[in-house]
A and B are shown apart, each in its own frame.
Chain A
Amino acid sequence: MREITIPIADETIRSLKAGDTVALTGVMMTGRDAVHKWLMDTFINKTRQPQGDDLEVYEAIKKILDHGVLYHCGPVVSGIDTGDYKFVAAGPTTSIREEPYEAAVIKHFNIKGVIGKGGMGPNTLKACQEAPAVYFHAVGGAASLIAQSVQRVLGVYKLEFGVPEAMWVIEVKAFPVIVTMDSHGNSLHKSVLESSQARYRELIGA
């Protein structure tokens, strides 16, 4: 298991290979469906004008995401009423929903790692080769366990998207992940898809 701290240098990313187990330490941010759409529409494609605190939030997250990590996660958080936030359950959500956006988001913010589950598609794999960046797979549903690696909740942006969809800024220690898409074009998801396809064809007699 390799211990890696965030922010992550390009050379560190290039040294990672699909299959490597990693323990991540540092500050990261959550972001899923609503966030990706908001980023794409407001700052990348610019099909919508920034409103309210959009620009302020943008400036703040730019710093977190530069050489940083984005975590596809909709956590269970206690203390919503008091503001004394604690992560109670925080496993990954299925990443493939963000495939239409991720390559652009990785490049725009210079993100080095995307954490999620189930892998991502060819556009993201290509962006990982170019950026460079990697996809880190966290165990789906290991919610209580992963919440334990969150030392502190530093803050939250866009809580109006709802608790699952907001941008939670968290400090983590030894967050366990597996590199399943590296910066050299290798994807464990692609290889499992291919081998399972061959066996599937055999079974149904295609």
Chain B
Amino acid sequence: MQPDLTQELLELVRLTATSLPADVEQTIAAARDKEDAGSVARSVLDTILQNVQMAREHSTPICQDTGTPIFYVDIPAGWSTREFRRQIEAAVAEATRRVYLRPNAVNSLTGKNTGNNLGDEYFPTVHFHEVDGDTVTVRLMLKGGGSENVSTQYKLPDTRLHAGRDLEGVYKVVMDAVYQAQGKGCAPGFLGVGIGGDRGSSFYAAKEALWRTLDEPNPDPELDALERRITEDANKLGIGPMGLGGKTTVMATRIKAIHRLPACYFVSIAYMCWAYRRHTMIYRNGQVEYK
């Protein structure tokens, strides 16, 4: 019998909304130290770090835009995805009632907010994946609207940017995206880049890329080098925290390449704000662990 994991999922939501992952906090702290004393950039990062501690301590949302809850669920063979989704929805609705989440599901045609963060099969977004063994792994990412608004997709070749269908072309369009975003995605941010796919899967890959932790290199050495080059060069733009000038604009770049159609070469940039909220729940034999 499939267990009821609603309470465990509720805790995953609370953790993700209120407790910034340790690797992200450390990266922001390192960026803060690089900024000049007395600069606007340093004071912005100080405020951010203060807020992160306060949110964790009081169990309040790190950012008021708790975004789209995006769940990636690895389940054993035989589990019901419909039942699992029901439990996820119950957890999300309860988390909203407890104000860990802001009600964010708005009917696009009527403008009406559903009030409980439930809205059609896309909200919350749940991706299921069947795996071997008996361990359930649930990854939750909260992705806010500000970062979504500066996320974008290019098709190569791009005439305006003189970008061809190669990694040099990818570099050029990603740099353009960072330049256009300025501070509007709540810089300093992180870049998830998807290469290939169709219009939909390309963005999916870009968001998936964001799951690699900040200390893991890209297994492909060419992509690893490109990730580092993009991050370094993005910072040379001097856009800085909140776009008010500074040394750090992008804290890390993560690239995932998938197959594409011959006619299409999409490059999707999933811009992630500094409030990079992601946590994992692992359930096995009645035991639950959170990372």
Chain A positions near chain B (C-beta within 8 angstroms): 19, 21, 34, 73-78, 80, 88-91, 93-94, 96-97, 117-119, 137, 139-145, 147-148, 161-165, 176, 178, 180, 188-189, 191-193, 195-197, 199-200, 203-204, 206
Interface residues in B205-240 by Cβ distance below 8 A to A read 233, 236-240
Which single residue of chain B is at the shortest CB-CB distance from A197?
B179
Binding site secondary structure of chain A: mixed
A189 & B275 in contact (Cβ 8 Å cutoff): no
Q: Which residues of B contact A137 (CB under 8 A)?
A: 242, 244
Q: Which residues of B contact A176 (CB under 8 A)?
A: 47
Question: Could you list some 7 contacts between A and B, CB below 8 A?
Answer: A94-B149, A142-B47, A144-B51, A145-B50, A200-B176, A203-B236, A203-B237
Kindly state the interface size class of chain B when it binds its partner.
Answer: 35 or more
Q: Does B253 contact A (CB under 8 A)?
A: no
For the A-B complex, the count of residue pairs with Cβ-Cβ distances under 8 Å equals 164
A34 & B111 in contact (Cβ 8 Å cutoff): yes
Binding site secondary structure of chain B: loop
Partner of A143, one of B40, B62, B161: B62
Taken together as a complex, chains A and B put the C-alpha atoms of A145 and B48 apart, in Å, by 9
A144 & B55 in contact (Cβ 8 Å cutoff): yes
B182 & A162 in contact (Cβ 8 Å cutoff): no
Stretch at the interface among B101-109, B122-130, B260-268: B101-109
Q: Which residues of A contact B55 (CB under 8 A)?
A: 89, 143-144
Q: Does B172 contact A (CB under 8 A)?
A: yes
B273 & A140 in contact (Cβ 8 Å cutoff): yes
Q: Least Cβ distance of B243 to chain A in Å?
A: 6
Q: Least Cβ distance of B152 to chain A in Å?
A: 15
Asked whether A75 and B243 contact (CB < 8 A) given A164-B103, A196-B237, A199-B237, the answer is no
Q: Does B27 contact A (CB under 8 A)?
A: no
Taken together as a complex, chains A and B put the C-alpha atoms of A199 and B178 apart, in Å, by 12
Other than A192-B240, A192-B244, A204-B161, give 15 A-B pairs with Cβ distance below 8 A: A19-B40, A34-B111, A94-B149, A119-B243, A137-B242, A140-B242, A141-B274, A144-B51, A144-B54, A145-B54, A162-B106, A163-B103, A191-B245, A192-B243, A200-B176
Which single residue of chain A is at the shortest CB-CB distance from B112?
A162
Which single residue of chain A is at the shortest CB-CB distance from B103?
A163
Asked whether A75 and B244 contact (CB < 8 A) given A96-B184, A176-B47, A196-B179, the answer is no
Q: Does B58 contact A (CB under 8 A)?
A: yes
Taken together as a complex, chains A and B put the C-alpha atoms of A189 and B183 apart, in Å, by 9
B61 & A144 in contact (Cβ 8 Å cutoff): yes
Q: Which residues of B contact A180 (CB under 8 A)?
A: 244
